[in-house]
Structure 1
Amino acid sequence: MRIGIIGGGSIGLLLAGRLGRGHKVTVFTRTESQADAINCAGGINIKGIHPVFTECKAETLSPSSTVGDQELLIVTVKQGAIEAVLPSIHHLKSPIVFLQNGMSHLKKLDSLHSASVYVGITEHGALRNHETETIHTGLGSVRIGLYKGERRDDIFDAIHHEFPIEIVSDIYPRLIEKLVVNACINPLTAVLGVKNGELITNSYFRRLLCEICKEVCRGLGIEEGEHRDYQEKVLLICERTADNKSSMLRDMELQRKTEIESILGFCLEEAEKRKEKVGMVSSLYMMVKGLEESGGK
């Protein structure tokens, strides 16, 4: 099967490396240097869990270029880059999967001509080590649900051996759960400059984390009786990923633009619609924006 992966970050390289074992994979990168590096190396190197080198090719995706015919396309770029990608894939009829943090990108997908548009989440841990290499740091799952169009289970059955993807009938609760986790952990670690585990081992950070979780849940309209379940999920993720730096903290350290708008920005918009007061979430949002403006210092 011809599979295109848009995005040469940690998850994009992980998918390309795994799926390339049984399919013809093309990675569409933002920079020419990364595409050249992948083509020069002949493929993707995965370290960590189940290390492997997989042959694949790469192309640069510029604003004026279009993605060639693919039987499946998986978009792994950050939310902020989706708008720039859409013109390059607008013409495609084949199934397209979007794997992003947050939910503010969903409304942008309505204009696509694809017969099957899926959205989903990934719980695999990965860290890009080089333009051609990613470290698979934690096994997880990829869950997707149909956003619009017709289901194409046959496509995902065909890649199950190389990289299982679970199709769920209602992806919305999964997206909300992932959003709550990201909204609580990512901005707080970025502001405090700590790994995920310290949010629960430091008693003051833990109390702060739990209060932020309550506000996020209220802002998203989650029933009060369910707040404890979401809090337990956040604490569990912190425990499981204790030695990891969140993606927002890594972005801050590298002075890259964070996903704060698509995560906390979305939460604030939802809270405003519901006329919920979420002062701590608003303050956390402004702290991250301020750190971005000052170069992460």
Structure 2
Amino acid sequence: MRILIFGAGAVGRVLAAMLSPHNELDIAARDPKLSLIEREGIFVHGAADRKIWPGTKPQGIYDIVIIATKAFDIIRASESVNEFIDENSTIVSPQNGLSHVDILTDYFGHKVILAPTTIGATSTGPNSARLVSLGMTFIGSSSGDMDREKTVAKLFDHAELPNNISNNIIGEVWTKAIVNACINPIAALAGVPNGTLLERNSLLTIAEKACYEAAEAAIVNHIELTHIDVFEWVKEVMRSTSENRCSMLQDLESGRRTEIDEINGVLIKKGESNGISMDVNRALWTMIRTAEGRRLP
């Protein structure tokens, strides 16, 4: 298959490294990162060790386009990939948060496959990443396009990427967003790997309160989450990614914008607009925005 990965962050690099051996793969990213990839390739180490040289000059039509940018870049990415798709192309989104779902559907309709993932990866350089865990990627179409679901699942199977086709993909996306909302800002503010939250009761208590606020927001928005006790699942993710330094922590350390608006920010809006108190999530959102040096709206 012809695959284009749009975005070369840690998860994008891992997906490129895993998918490249079985497919014709190109990657699109901003310079100087793209120029470095062109010269030196992409190197992934840890749970899998791969060195690849993907194409860096996308052209023509692709069977699969994986949009692996930050969630706040989704509109720019959607506009940019239009020239590389036709009616038979499939758009795959492993992005964090909730805001991307409606935007991608507006742009691409039934072509979209949502793919929330628990791949744990840490950037170790502009063209390298340490893979902590391949995690699990859930695959689903909000429009019910089973053929596209099966195509993406088969693609991931061949690449040895654990995956599962979900009949409740919106519930999976929300569940992943809640996991991110409970782990990422707390780990980022404390400056610790995910697993440390399990070891510090004060941090775990904050995560629990944020979790139950977000779960209430899901209920009032008629979302069926994929775990009865979502906080138990949050703790399981903390365990399975215990060594991972989450993307929000990496972004703060590097002086980059985080995805706090697209994760906690959207959950706050979904909850407060329906009368749910989101005080803990709002406090986390405020502190991350302040740490970024961005003004509060």
Note whether the superposition's TM-score is higher than 0.5. Answer: yes
Stretch moving more, 130-139 or 91-100 = 130-139
Q: Measure, in 2, the Cα distance between the counterparts of 1:269 and 1:169.
A: 26
In 1, are the aligned partners of 2:206 and 2:280 still within 8 Å (CA)? no
Match of 1:166 among 157, 164, 167: 164
Which secondary structure does the structure 2 equivalent of 1:135 belong to?
Answer: strand
Which residue matches 1:64?
Answer: none
* Distance in 1 of aligned mates of 2:108 and 2:254: 36
Aligned to 1:279: 279
Match of 1:193 among 171, 191, 194: 191
- Aligned equivalents of 2:218 and 2:152: distance in 1? 33
The CA distance in 2 between the partners of 1:148 and 1:238, in whole Å, is: 31
- Asked if structure 1 preserves the Cα contact closer than 8 Å seen for 2:121 and 2:244, the reply is no
Tell me how many residue pairs correspond in the alignment: 286
Shift in CA distance, 265/113, structure 1 to aligned 2, threshold 3 Å = closer
Aligned counterpart in structure 2 of residue 109 of structure 1, from 90, 104, 112: 104
Query: Conserved in 2, the CA contact under 8 Å of 1:117 and 1:149?
Result: no
Deviations 1:71-97 (A, max 9, x none): 111111111111111112235220110
Residue 85 of structure 1: which of 77, 91, 100 is its match?
A: 77
Alpha-carbon offset, residue 149 of structure 1? 7.2
Distance 1:109 1:44, change over 3 A: same
Query: C-alpha distance in 2, partners of 1:74/1:21?
Result: 16
| Shift in Å, 1:184 | 0.6
The question of whether the paired residues in 2 share the 8 Å contact of 1:95 and 1:118 is answered with yes
SS at match of 1:102: coil
Aligned structure 1 segments of 4 or more residues deviating by more than 6 angstroms: none
The partner residue of 1:147 within 139, 142, 148 is 142
Q: Is the 8 A contact 2:7 2:67 kept in 1?
A: yes
Long gaps (5+) in structure 1: 61-66
Alignment match, 2:289: 289
The answer (yes or no) to whether the contact 1:35–1:59 under 8 Å persists in 2 is: no
Q: Is the 8 A contact 2:67 2:94 kept in 1?
A: yes
Distance of 1:84 and 1:11 partners within structure 2? 19
Q: CA deviation at 1:5?
A: 0.5
Which one is further off, 264-273 or 201-210? Answer: 201-210
Q: TM-score, normalised by structure 2?
A: 0.88
Offset at residue 115 of structure 1 (A): 5.2
Match of 1:63 in 2: none
CA distance in 1, matches of 2:69, 2:121: 14
Are residues 217 and 115 of structure 1, via their aligned partners in 2, closer, same or farther at CA, if it must alter by over 3 Å?
A: closer
Partner of 1:39: 38
Q: Name the structure 1 match of 2:49.
A: 51
For structure 1, which segment, 15-24 or 165-174, has the greater mean C-alpha deviation from structure 2 after superposition? 165-174
Higher normalized helix content (fraction of residues): 2
- The letter of the residue matching 1:247 is S
Counterpart for residue 242 of structure 2: 242
- The 1:113/1:263 distance shift into structure 2, 3 A limit, reads closer
* Cα 1:291/1:149, change in 2 over 3 Å: same
**Any conservation in 2 of the 1:90–1:113 contact (CA below 8 Å)?**
no
Q: Assess, with a 3 A threshold, how the Cα gap between structure 1 residues 80 and 135 changes in structure 2: closer, same or farther.
A: same
In the alignment, the residues of structure 2 paired with residue 149 and residue 235 of structure 1 have an alpha-carbon distance, to the nearest angstrom, of 31
Equivalent-residue separation in structure 2 for 1:293 and 1:269 (angstroms):
22
TM-superposed deviation, 1:293: 1.2
Q: 1:157 aligns with which of 154, 158, 163?
A: 154
Task: Decide whether the 8 Å contact of 2:182 with 2:234 is kept in 1.
Answer: yes
The offset of 1:156, in angstroms, is 4.1
Deviates more, 1:201-210 or 1:148-157: 148-157
**CA distance in 1: counterparts of 2:247 and 2:155, whole angstroms:** 31
Amino acid at match of 1:175: V
Counterpart CA distance in 1 for 2:14 and 2:138 is 16
Q: CA deviation at 1:32?
A: 2.3
Are the counterparts in 2 of residues 144 and 171 from structure 1 also a CA contact under 8 Å?
Answer: yes
